[in-house]
Amino acid sequence: MERFAKVFESHGRQILVRKGENSDGDSSLNISTMFSGSEMTISLALGDNTEALDKALENFEQEHADHFAKQFEGQTSALAAFKSLAGDDCDDDDEEND
């Protein structure tokens, strides 16, 4: 059976990992979760290498989903989750520009 996706549960979230394409049309491994109805997806581009994409999906396991989901503990919105990934721990008011 050819697999195109896996679903994991971790830290109170579902993590969907699937084969796809990024906005440039390159093969990518897409890792998605939901925050209050908003989907957040991170795409890992693999160029034209479909073998690498197959291997990436095959090798993505529960421990990887656990690490991914742990990054979002306590986050309630996709924007807050993105900021935590980007290392942006400042408030919406940018104090440096005041």
Asked if the structure places residue 46 within a domain, the reply is: yes
pLDDT at residue number 93: 43
Q: Which residue has the tokens 């195109």?
A: 4
Tens of each residue's pLDDT in the chain, 98 residues: 889 999 999 999 999 999 999 889 999 999 999 998 889 999 999 999 999 999 999 999 999 999 999 988 888 888 888 888 787 654 544 444 44
Residue 53 included in any domain = yes
Number of structural domains, the chain? Answer: 1
In a domain, 23, yes or no: yes
Residue 59 lies in domain: 5-86
Is 92 within a domain? no
28: in domain: yes
Are 90 and 36 in contact by the 8 Å Cβ rule? The answer is no
How far is the C-alpha of 64 from the C-alpha of 23, rounded, in Å? 24
Find, among 18, 28, 19, 23, the residue nearest to 48 by Cα: 28
Q: Looking at the domain assignment, is residue 71 inside a domain?
A: yes
